[in-house]
Copies of this chain bind each other. A is one copy, B any other.
Amino acid sequence: MKFAERVRRVAPSAIRDLLRHGADPEIISFGGGYPDPALFPMAELRGIYAELLAGDPVVLQYCPSDGLPALRAQVATRLRRDGIDRTADDVLIIQGAQQGLDLAAKLVLDPGDAVVTENPTFLGALIAFNPFEPVYAPVRTDADGMDTDDLERVLAATPRARLLYTVPDFQNPTGVTMSLPRRRRLIELADEYDLLVVEDTPYRALRYDGAHLPTLKSLDAGGRVVHLGSFSKILAPGMRLGWAVADGEVLEKLALLKLAADTQSSTLNMAATSSYLDRYDIDAHIATMCRSYRDKRDLLLTTLRETFPETVEYTTPDGGLFTWLTFPASFDTTAFMRDVALPDARVAYVPGATFFPTTPEHNHARLNFSGLTEERITQGVIRLSKYLPR
């Protein structure tokens, strides 16, 4: 049977393989992007689901494809604090931010169009974009996020650039945050080159140090930013809820693509999330998560400093779930994981090569700190450090 050209680009995914490793309790995995299940508001949600399922059966019925109106309004209200002054009508409820990547790609990409990304970038985004057969135009990324001087050069050299994908806050995989001057410059360049900007903000609320920077959407006078967010990291990923905010025809087309893709998100989970936002203080809940994750980040970085060779560099993220390790240029983290880390140290991470859209660098690793206990963070780093060449 002949598959469409686009499916040739769907390669077996490192993320899926790692989800499998994550299931082996013997292995300490820094691999996932998992929130800490001990922080899920189980009791609150238990009460909410019980009450919903004692009430109107409409919670199990179909509902409008754009999402429950109450939840759309609550998301809009929360976004006003991020400088995004919109109403319920401008919010589309989606299946986690991941679905927003699929819908945005479907919206603008013809085969051969270029997607501009940070270098490295989120693997799940590459997986979402690949079926639409883009080429990639990666942009140099440093401690201040995507380098907009390099972006300008890349755009000048990439006439088919159509979509710019960025995680401005605590980027996946590097943990870095885009500076305000670069945010402003990015929007100017997007206007100049007529790009659709996909601003992916799953970690934005998880800031441990410093003050929030303006969202790209809040700087977007041209209506070209699709702002994606998610309840996965601030409430629970297993409910599969996120949102997309966009303007005018972009939002309207995304909404139709959402309907086409899966009719709607779960009515019951939307009703439960709406009820949670109504009754509980999610900001207090987020503050609790931030305290816990900040401690884990500090523990991870401290243990790395104390046990790893000085030749290994790592980022110091102000929030989010990840730090990014850079080993000496000759060190291959994929081979080391296969040959040493998994079989001997019994530790997993994500080798950095998969996060590079075009030219893999082999001497990086992404470490998650949110999904592990403090004990396992310490143990995992110590175990790994013992096998590192000195």
> Is B256 a contact of A240 with CB atoms below 8 Å?
no
Among B2, B53, B61, the residue within 8 A (CB) of A108 is B2
- With the chains together, A240 CA to B128 CA distance in Å? 21
A210 located at the interface, meaning its Cβ lies under 8 Å from any Cβ of chain B in the complex: no
A171 located at the interface, meaning its Cβ lies under 8 Å from any Cβ of chain B in the complex: no
Number of copies: 2
How many of chain A's residues have a CB under 8 angstroms from any CB in B?
82
A315 located at the interface, meaning its Cβ lies under 8 Å from any Cβ of chain B in the complex: no
Interface residues of A in 113-139 (CB under 8 A from B): 113, 124, 127-128, 130-132
List B contacts of A124 (CB < 8 A). 263
> Is B34 a contact of A57 with CB atoms below 8 Å?
no
- With the chains together, A7 CA to B110 CA distance in Å? 10
Contact A62:B238 (CB < 8 A) given known A1-B224, A262-B96, A263-B124:
yes
> Is B259 a contact of A16 with CB atoms below 8 Å?
yes
Contact A257:B98 (CB < 8 A) given known A3-B108, A37-B60, A62-B238:
no
Interface string of A5-19 (1 = CB under 8 A from B): 111001111011001
Contact A3:B253 (CB < 8 A) given known A57-B40, A61-B237:
yes
> Is B42 a contact of A54 with CB atoms below 8 Å?
yes
> Is B2 a contact of A162 with CB atoms below 8 Å?
yes
- With the chains together, A94 CA to B240 CA distance in Å? 12
- With the chains together, A4 CA to B105 CA distance in Å? 9
> Is A240 a contact of B264 with CB atoms below 8 Å?
yes
A266 located at the interface, meaning its Cβ lies under 8 Å from any Cβ of chain B in the complex: yes
Contact A7:B106 (CB < 8 A) given known A236-B60, A260-B131:
yes
Interface residues of A (CB under 8 A from B): 1-7, 10-13, 15-16, 19-20, 32, 34-35, 37-38, 40, 42-43, 45-46, 49-50, 53-54, 57-65, 94-96, 98-99, 102, 106-110, 113, 124, 127-128, 130-132, 162, 194, 196, 224, 232, 236-240, 249-250, 253, 256-257, 259-269
Name 16 A/B residue pairs within 8 A (Cβ), A-sorted. Answer: A1-B249, A3-B253, A16-B259, A34-B62, A40-B57, A40-B60, A40-B61, A42-B53, A49-B49, A61-B237, A61-B238, A95-B261, A127-B260, A128-B260, A237-B267, A238-B267
